[in-house]
Amino acid sequence: MSIRLAVFDIAGTTVQDEGSVAAAFRNAFVKNGYPITLEDTHPYMGVKKIVAVRMMLEKLGEEFTDADVEDIHTDFVDEMINYYEYDSSVKPFTDTEDVFVQLKEMGVRIALNTGFPKVIADTILDRFQWMEKNLVDDYIASDEVENGRPSPLMIGELMQRAGIDDPMEVLKVGDTFVDIEEGKNAGCRYIVAVTTGSGTKEELQEYAPTHIISSLSELPVILK
Give per-residue pLDDT as tens, 194-219: 999 999 999 999 999 999 999 999 99
Q: Give tens-digit pLDDT for 77-132.
A: 999 999 999 999 999 999 999 999 999 999 999 999 999 999 999 999 999 999 99
Does domain 20-86 bear CATH number 1.10.150.240? yes
What is the per-residue pLDDT for 86?
96
* Predicted TM-score of the model (pTM): 0.94
* Confidence category of residue 18, pLDDT binned at 50, 70, 90: confident
Q: Could you give the CA distance from residue 172 to residue 154 in angstroms, rounded to a whole number?
A: 11
* Confidence category of residue 43, pLDDT binned at 50, 70, 90: very high
What is the per-residue pLDDT for 88?
94
Question: Where does residue 12 rank: exposed (0-12), middle (13-18), buried (19+ CB within 10 A)?
Answer: buried
Question: Taking residues 219-223, what's their average pLDDT?
Answer: 94
What is the per-residue pLDDT for 224?
86
Sequence ranges of the domains in the chain: 5-17+91-223, 20-86
Whether residue 78 contacts residue 104, with contact meaning beta carbons closer than 8 Å, is answered with no
Q: Give tens-digit pLDDT for 158-199.
A: 999 999 999 999 999 999 999 999 999 999 999 999 999 999
Whether residue 131 contacts residue 125, with contact meaning beta carbons closer than 8 Å, is answered with yes
Half-sphere exposure (Cβ direction) of 180: Cα atoms closer than 13 Å: 21
* Confidence category of residue 144, pLDDT binned at 50, 70, 90: very high
Q: Which CATH class is domain 5-17+91-223?
A: alpha beta
User: Residue 89: what are its φ and ψ, rounded to 5°?
Assistant: -80, -10
Q: Could you give the CA distance from residue 171 to residue 133 in angstroms, rounded to a whole number?
A: 22
